[in-house]
Structure 1
Amino acid sequence: MSVARRLVAEGLGTAMLLAVVVGSGIMAERLAGGNVAIALLANTIATGAGLVALILMFGAMSGAHFNPVVTLSEAWLGNLPRRDVLPYIAVQVTGAFAGVAAAHAMFDAPLFFASEHVRTGASQWWSECVATFGLIAVIIGTSRSRPAATPFAVAAYITSAYWFTASTSFANPAVTLARAASNTFAGIRPADAPGFIAAQLLGGAAAALLFRWLYPAPAAAAIADAVPVDAAVANTATSGNVARRSVPARTEQ
């Protein structure tokens, strides 16, 4: 797969993810009649369903990261060339803002308007650290034990994390930056974004360190013995990205 195609897949996938998150948040808030729990439930279901579809759609092309923390983790694990890290992150952030604009346009709102939704404090930062730790843990664990289940495991985790974290689990720096430009149900005040991003990076790094040890990469010889020749050819090389060999490692919200 050419670099250009992978970057387009990452950017488009991230844009579609943000359109799902922000668009479903706007619709949920309008229909819930002031009931925040119902609005959050609707936003959660739409996000989880959209995430499964997007990972299945783009996973074989780019790995379907849609998230700078996932990209950094995959590069550190050796699943993504390090020269691709900055281009991936650039298209993820660009795509995220494009997705916000697309959602706003569907609901007749300004393309960008700064959020006034306050999300700050130690409990919120800790929530983001835990949410991102769990996301990276699920990606590494399932990619190395049950790769075909990865899209469903990631979406299931994000769906649950909407509810068990105080922050509703952003777990994604690109998503955080873009949602700061949306004064809607899904938004975050721009001043609060740096704290979220720092917590996300910390949680992702901790998970990558621990789960690289818990799930060491199988030796190339062992993979060759375990995988039939025709399957090995179909899956390219054993040194390729785990996410692209079967179904992606992924992403978040």
Structure 2
Amino acid sequence: MTTDLPRRLVAEALGTSTLVATVVGSGIMADRLTDDVALALLGNTVPTGAILVVLITILGPLSGAHFNPAVTLVFGLRREIGANAAMLYVLAQVAGGLAGTMIAHAMFDLPVLQVATTARTGTGQWLAEAVAAFGLVFTILAGLRFRPDAVAWLIGLYITAAYWFTASTSFANPAVAVARAFSNTFSGIRPIDLPAFIVAEMLGALVAMSFAGWLLAGKEFASTDNPKLEAAG
């Protein structure tokens, strides 16, 4: 990174705040507009995927656009970010996420400070979070390996899909999970359910890092049946 650390931290806080404000705000809006749970989830999904494309595109050049402690952990273990910077990234992400929740509440004239009561627990939910985080981190690493120019779209599309194929609706982000624990709305999660979600997300991210390290380790990925790919490789 060529950007100085204070600006990188502001970018991480701003990005996480905007992401959470979108998740929580679109959830509130969807819940107000329809009683159909499936339609409300769709109204929550599309804005989330869309804002990720925007945020990664505009803030990625500044901070790398982690917006996620699990992602920061992976890049820290890969020695692509220093330990001190990584810790500050996580603090900025959590603080930004909490600010995003409060901003969303304020926009919809709701109490700014809330505690969620929505239960999200059980083996299926935990497995879903591990799968969601695995897929997110693998998408990031494979995207950076093969199509760095498309990473923003790959992540936005992955999260859009994961909202629907995971039982947990794909939090895949400890900072977002913490922020959502302070929103007693469509997007909320009880604070008591947070630890298991965070552990599952971190484990999924670490498994993805290890798997990607093996799968993507080769220097050549050209098919022997495609001369153009061999030439490109």
Deviation of 1:177 (Å): 0.6
Cα shift at 1:111: 1.1
Alignment of 1:229-244 (within 5 A): none
Please name the residue that 1:150 is paired with. 151
Q: Distance in 2 between matches of 1:35 and 1:99?
A: 26
Cα distance in 1 between the residues matched to 2:146 and 2:74:
17
Within 2, Cα distance between the matches of 1:122 and 1:183?
Answer: 23
Distance 1:186 1:31, change over 3 A: same
1:52–1:151 Cα contact (<8 Å) kept = yes
2, 22, 25: which is aligned to 1:23?
A: 25
Residues in 2 aligned to 1:12 and 1:112: alpha-carbon distance in whole angstroms: 19
- Residues 44-193 of structure 1: matches in 2 within 5 Å? 44-193=45-194
Cα separation, 1, equivalents of 2:68 and 2:61? 16
Give the superposed CA RMSD. 1.0
CA displacement at 1:217 relative to structure 2 = 8.6
Bigger relative CO (Cα 8 Å, ≥ 6 apart): 1
Q: Give the Cα separation in 1 of the matches to 2:84 and 2:177.
A: 24
Query: Contact between 1:116 and 1:188, CA under 8 Å: does it hold in 2?
Result: yes
- Provide the C-alpha distance between the structure 1 equivalents of 2:72 and 2:218, rounded to a whole number of angstroms: 17
Shift of 1:36: 0.3
Q: 1:7 aligns with which of 6, 9, 12?
A: 9
Count matched residues: 217
Q: Segments of 4+ in structure 1 off by > 3 A? A: none
1:212 paired residue number: 213
SS of equivalent residue, structure 1 residue 216? coil
Match of 1:119, as an amino acid?
R
Quote how far apart the aligned CAs of 1:154 are: 0.5
Amino acid at match of 1:55: I
| 1:83-140 residue CA offsets vs partner (Å, 9 max, x unmatched) | 2110000000000000000000000011121111110000000000000000000000
Q: Which residue of 2 aligns with 1:243?
A: none
Scaled by the length of structure 2, what TM-score is found? 0.91
TM-score, normalised via structure 1 length:
0.84
Structure 2: gaps (5+ residues): 220-233
Give the % identical residues.
53
